[in-house]
Amino acid sequence: MAAVTSKKGPRLMQEFRGVYIEGEFVCTGRKLPCFDPSSGAAWAEVETGGADQVDAAVQSARSAQKQHWGPLAAWQRATVLRKFADILVANRDEIATVESRNNGKAVRDTREEVTRGAEWLRFFAGAASTAYGNTFQLEGGTQANVYREPLGVIGAITPWSSPVYIYMWKLAPALACGNAVVIKPSEIAPITCGLIAKYASEAGLPAGVLNVVTGDATAGAALAAHRGIDKLTFTGGVASGRAVAQLAAGNFTPTTIEAGGKTALIVLDDADLDLALGIAVRGSFRSAGQSCAHISRILVQRSIYAEFIKKFLPAVRELRVGPALDEQTDVGPVISEASAVRCEGLVKSGRSSGGNVLLGGQRAKVSEALGGYYFAPTVLDGVPANSRVMQEEIFGPIAAIMPFDDDDAAIETANNVDFGLVGALVTRSLSRYRRFVRDLDVGVICVNAFRPGHWQLPYGGRKRSGMGIDNGYDVLRDYTQSKTVMLGAI
């Protein structure tokens, strides 16, 4: 295990190794406390690194990629990745428990994310064999070959909201294509990254191919600015994404940025209402709304608006708010006190802009003995389209619902935000479906279903949601580079 237990004051604390370089956990003497959002108490400490550890990790990755991982055939790398996936699933309960305690997400959800995350490894294990080049016959008998080669060292900066899930989004294609990786996980929920590295080693990943440097923004900045990084991939907030992109640009490092969203669910008057309600409840309140794909805006055609609200509110009331490790919990805590305060501020802003709180709107008390950062699932209506609630990324269990009169109005409202990551639509009309798919300015559209992230499909946004994509066959080109060779007579 990467964790040991020691006595720290009045409670038992777990200590986790958070710096993993060249197949070994490194002691730096610097530790970061980790808080359990379900109780608000510190429950663990994790070893952290800085610029020196980032540099050592990049050097380790460069050597391992050139000597041990890049030269392997795609099928050889695939064998390791498939075993890696099997080990993750076998240890799913341990990983999910640590993840839920670290970031407050309901354990049923984190368990599912480990299982699904393993599918990223399995898919890209096979997909990497399709990253082939081309041959051309040119004038004068010259033959040209275009090869696809690994980039080298990938720097990955990941968020706290779904750590294991996003690790796999970054690791699977990068490793499958023959690259080595240095990960800087969020300092808010960093612990599972060390576990993942340990299991990768057990699967046979050569030492140095996967390195972890847990740390604060200083470590992230050092990774983004490092001249030894051949590609940077980032998932997080807009401000952080802009900062790391600027640092990477100094070295002309190719960068993928996924920086948030403002999903609108559009329910047309011909929709299957029960289907729409299920999508709205899950999309708005799973993970306590702490997701880039969070449905924070529900646009319902006016003729069915009253009926939708009549059914939606009781369905939301049935959601059980509770500790992350409780199997009955539907909505866990938000990540921190600051997040709970932000949720309160957004509700207050919604009221002051003329909106009504139909449900929730305040902190939820789970029990007298338990602290934590619980916020009640909240539904607002009457909030203007230009208000903070309708324009800003929420990252909390808050959804604003509003009516629209026709398709033009729905599209205009949905597009009238700075983000363009995910959109959702419920309709039975093929012609209306075609219109919305054409005109919604987002990178991913879910129609009559809602699971926006899939290993086979590109995932990326427009506008302030970032640049580039994760997932799908297309991403293989982002983790490889072309080499053109022109051969004349020999």
Q: What is the pLDDT of residue 12?
A: 59
Q: Are residues 243 and 282 in the same domain?
A: no
**180 and 272 co-located in one domain:** no
Q: Is residue 40 part of a domain?
A: yes
Check which CATH number belongs to the domain holding 307 and give it: 3.40.309.10
- Asked whether the predicted pLDDT for residue 73 surpasses 80, the reply is yes
The contacts of residue 245 (CB under 8 Å, 6+ apart) are 224, 232, 234, 255, 257, 467
Contact predicate 222/51, CB 8 Å = yes
Reported as a pLDDT band with limits 50, 70 and 90, residue 8 is very low
| Residues 426, 317, 313, 415, CA torsion sign | negative
- Asked if 169 and 86 sit in the same domain, the reply is yes
Q: Taking the model in full, what pTM does it have?
A: 0.94
Distance CA 171, CA 153 (A): 12
Task: Provide the phi-psi class of 408: left if phi over 0, else alpha when psi is between -120 and 50, else beta.
Answer: alpha
Alpha-carbon torsion (25, 30, 35, 41), positive or negative: positive
Q: Are residues 353 and 235 in the same domain?
A: no
Q: pLDDT, tens digit, for every residue of 393-412?
A: 999 999 999 999 999 999 99
Instruction: Judge if 225 and 307 occupy the same domain.
Output: no
Q: Are residues 208 and 305 in the same domain?
A: no
The chain-wide mean pLDDT, for the chain, equals: 94
Residue 373 lies in a domain: yes
pLDDT in tens, 303-318: 999 999 999 999 999 9
Is residue 7 predicted with pLDDT exceeding 50?
no
Is 490 inside any structural domain?
no
Nearest to 296 by CA among 419, 460, 428, 113: 419
Is 390 inside a domain boundary? yes
Structure-derived torsion over alpha carbons of residues 70, 74, 80, 82, reported in degrees to the nearest 10: 140
Distance, in Å, from the CA atom of 262 to the CA atom of 291, rounded to the nearest integer, reads 10
Distance from C-alpha of 95 to C-alpha of 280, rounded to nearest angstrom: 28
Q: How many domains does the chain divide into? A: 2
| Residue 198 forms part of a structural domain | yes
Residue 460 lies in a domain: no
Same domain? 395 vs 363: yes
Whether residues 351 and 270 share a domain: the answer is yes
377 and 428 together in one domain: yes
Give the angle subtended at the CA of 93 by the CAs of 91 and 96, to the nearest 5°: 105
Residues 6+ apart with CB under 8 A from 225: 247, 248, 250, 251
Q: Is residue 217 domain-resident?
A: yes
pLDDT at 371: 87
Hey, which residues are catalytic here?
Answer: 184, 258, 292, 393
Domain of 411, in residue numbers: 263-455
Same domain, yes or no: 278 and 398: yes
Claim to verify: residue 229 and residue 112 sit in the same structural domain: yes
The domain that holds 184 is classified in CATH as 3.40.605.10
d(CA 28, CA 19): 8
Residue pair 64/209 in contact (Cβ under 8 Å)? The answer is yes
Query: Same structural domain for residues 181 and 285?
Result: no
Quick check: 1 pLDDT over 60?
no
Residue 438 lies in a domain: yes
Task: Note the pLDDT of residue 131.
Answer: 76
Residue 330: half-sphere exposure toward Cβ, Cα within 13 Å = 15
